[in-house]
Amino acid sequence: MSNYLATEKHLITLQAESEERFLAELRSGNYTLENPLVVENPYLINPLAAVICFNTEEETTAQITIKGKAAEGDLTHTFAAAKEHVLPIYGLYDNYENTVVIVLGSGKMSQVNIKLEELDVNKALYCHTTSEYFGKDLMIISTTTPLVDSAKTVGFDYAGDLRWVITNKQSWDIKKLANGRLLHTSYRTMQKPYYTVGLMEMDFCGKIYKEYRLPGGFHHDAIELENGNLLAASDNDFEESVEDFVVEIDRKTGEVIKSWDLLNILPREKGNAGDWNYHDWFHNNSVWYDKATNSITMSGRHKDAIINFDYDTSKLNWILGDPEGWGEEWQNYFFKNVTKGDFDWQYEQHAARILPNGDVFVFDNGTYRSKHEATWVSPEENFSRGVIYRIDTDKMEIEQVWQYGKERGAEFYSPYICNVDYYSEGHYMIHSGGIATYRGKHTDGLGAMLLNKYKDELIHLTLESITVEVLNDEVKYELKVQGGNYYRARRLSLYDETTNFALGKGEFLGGFGVTPEFGLKVKFKDAEGEIPAKHNLSLILEEDRLALRASFKEGSEVFLEFKDEKEAKFYSVPTVVHDVTAACVSFEEQNDNDFQFYLSREGLSGDYQIYLNIDNKRYATHYSVKF
């Protein structure tokens, strides 16, 4: 008898089921302004959110006020007129009895109390600012160390109080889209150590409206273009290289409509940074589009280089960074320093962007501060900073015109991750989210990797994050969080004129394409007995793919076999171990011999038994699938 794999439901499906349940309850009951239906964590991944539901006889607006612990923490929003009211409530406090005041257009008022338990989430060690400066915004910091249970993606208000959290193991950047929703990574991985299936559009409740699935997955960064499309860091061929590929995603279909491969633009083995390796030779960690020059800017951590190339032709325009090691033939692409005063090149930088006046703003991690190991700067003597360079692309000259962070030395030093943000001229955010000390000393080790390295002595490992805002060279805001590293920071408002909550199930867009079958004949002998326990085989059938995870000896010849009455389909499972010198996120504990393989359900139909062939021995998994 066949043991069919049950389909694991996607979060979009689980959220739709949750929504259907509370809507059914609303529509079957007598819920009024005075007796509303209150649903905590309605979309399953934000326990500091709720929906308040009720009906009115006439169409009317509804104004909500989530009361702060002080009046300065109040959050207010008015929703459009309706008879059926499903009001999203963001910004609740944990370990607190929250009060929400609702006022209808008629002036009729009600009060709802929502008492929440304390969450095991890292809180702010301190937050130095004022409500006059910071207003109603939150500083959202996205976790890069979700292996630490308490290191969630969180948002803090002016007082340093926790007001927002996502409990899923999601990382990378969070950006607010023009439609008021958030652009965030998918929670599903595609390949270790941290490549996800794509991007998601969600709201502050955590409700997912769209998942954009990409053939090469997603990592690090994405932006929204003026036409609504998305520009995202992706991969082309995991076995050849990673983090050197960018795609443009059609916003309506999720399909990739244009791509750029850096292997066709740059040399692979010139200008290498301290953490360079052949597989992850560029390590792109940001994408930026500049309309004025119709160009794309990317940040290559493993080249100590920011590069800029033409959107239409892919022609390289310039390279910003230390020119040492690139050879004579590439020197024309580099800038000559003409700064009168303090100047430093950036090293293993992150989050490069072009400012409205053409300046380049970047987080300079400063890792090693040299391309030669003999002259590396020790972490105790090093610094990280936000820096603005002014470039003249006609004369190919560069000036350093502003920086913040060098003066703070090692306390602000993050050898990985981090970002900067631009609000207006002279008004900047600098987020140093990858600070790590081991036994009291600063380290060049990356926190996300140190969690594995020192998993038996974490008491000696301290991870923290410092986020600063500067206005006209005066520090107006500083937030410090300990207990994890945090990839990037974004200052966002929970409610504004673009607030965009809607009912209905989210969409799956794009896709993985058809997984190619192995093109040669596979030789094997049926094995006696079961698959050896050492392989730790896991098979999970998702709504759009089959996920295989297992442990194999490096270089083993492994095939996943689908067999029906007429034919057998073989899929090669890669077992090559690639160097990882920079894991910016750690979603799970992994060893070198842990492998992942994902088989797209696109193009498959039928009823198949599943076998696993390991080094010419075929094992029955005793599972079947039906497509």
Per-residue pLDDT reduced to its tens digit, 131-161: 999 999 999 999 999 989 999 999 999 999 9
Q: Which long-range contacts (CB under 8 A, 24 or more apart) does 28-35 make?
A: 31/55, 32/56, 33/102, 33/104, 33/108, 33/110, 34/110
Domains in the chain: boundaries: 7-116, 129-180+262-510, 525-626
Tell me if domain 7-116 and domain 525-626 are identical in fold: yes
One-letter amino acid identity for 338? Answer: V
Mean pLDDT confidence for 601-624: 96
CA distance 323 to 43: 50
Banded pLDDT at 334 (limits 50, 70, 90): very high
pLDDT at position 1, please? Answer: 55
Banded pLDDT at 58 (limits 50, 70, 90): very high
The CATH number of the domain covering residues in 7-116: 2.60.40.10
CA distance 381 to 405: 13
Instruction: Count the Cβ atoms, other than its own, within 10 Å of residue 1.
Output: 5
Topology annotation, domain 525-626: Immunoglobulin-like (2.60.40)
* Pair 360, 306: CB distance under 8 Å: yes
| Pairing outcome for strands 461-471 and 427-438 | antiparallel
pLDDT at position 588, please? Answer: 73
Per-residue pLDDT reduced to its tens digit, 565-612: 999 999 999 999 888 878 888 777 777 889 999 999 999 999 999 999
| Pairing outcome for strands 96-104 and 109-116 | antiparallel
In the chain, the N- to C-terminal Cα span, in Å, equals 18
Q: Please list, residue by residue across 466-500, b when 16 or more beta carbons sit within 10 angstroms of its beta carbon and e when fewer do.
A: bbbbbeeeeebbebbbebbbbbbbbbbbbbeeebe
Mean pLDDT confidence for 221-250: 97
Distances 591 to 166, 546, 588 between C-alpha atoms, Å: 27, 22, 10
Per-residue pLDDT reduced to its tens digit, 303-328: 999 999 999 999 999 999 999 999 99
